[in-house]
Amino acid sequence: MKLYPQGTNSNPTELGPESSGGRMKGVCVVKPVVFGNVARYFGKKREEDGHTHQWTVYVKPYNNEDMSVYIKKVTFKLHESYANQNRVVLKPPYEVTETGWGEFEIVIKIYFHDSNERPVTLYHILKLFQSGPEDVLSKNALVSEFYEEIVFQDPTAFMHHLLTTTHPITSGVWKHETDCKMFVIMLNSRC
């Protein structure tokens, strides 16, 4: 599945968030992302609150690039039982860490620096317990991670500039659990 943010047309003459430079017809930019969660079991239920796991939900780039160049903020809507269920993250890493005992859906919204581009919404089921081959156990933690592509069709000139001028985050190896899962699934399908 590919995600398409949509925006309104405008014809300003300068590049900037308020004056986006108009839409670039026929231009398409794809930004791959990875979203999901990592969960670690405490070993037993905590007496004070009954929580059994610490977990982190996140959105990160699939490629080694600084997403903050084009992402303004990411919001995470947690279960209503959490105090302050709407979390706003303004800079990388785009993640929220909490503790809990149950699985639930988290709504993730990605907002862009160019307000002419509408936010993209992702839905993720927080996984605490392994339920199938799509869940990977990594370093005593359960990882539930997915690959997605945000497609910018006819972006504004300003957004196009932001999308095409990203810089690497690190010079090291850039790896995701999704890469491991694809390998595990390929191995299982050969059996």
Residue 19 pLDDT greater than 90, yes or no: no
Which tens digits make up the pLDDT trace of 108-145?
Answer: 999 999 999 999 999 999 999 987 665 666 567 899 99
pLDDT above 90 as % of the chain: 68
16: Cα separation from own chain's centroid: 25
The predicted pLDDT at position 173 comes to 60
Residue 35: domain span? 2-190
CATH of the domain at 181: 2.60.40.1970
Q: Give the mean pLDDT of 50-77.
A: 96
What is the count of structural domains for the chain?
A: 1
DSSP 26: T
For residue 185, pLDDT beyond 50: no
Average pLDDT over the chain reads: 84
Contact 104, 82 (CB under 8 A): no
Q: What are phi and psi of 161, to 5 degrees?
A: -60, -45
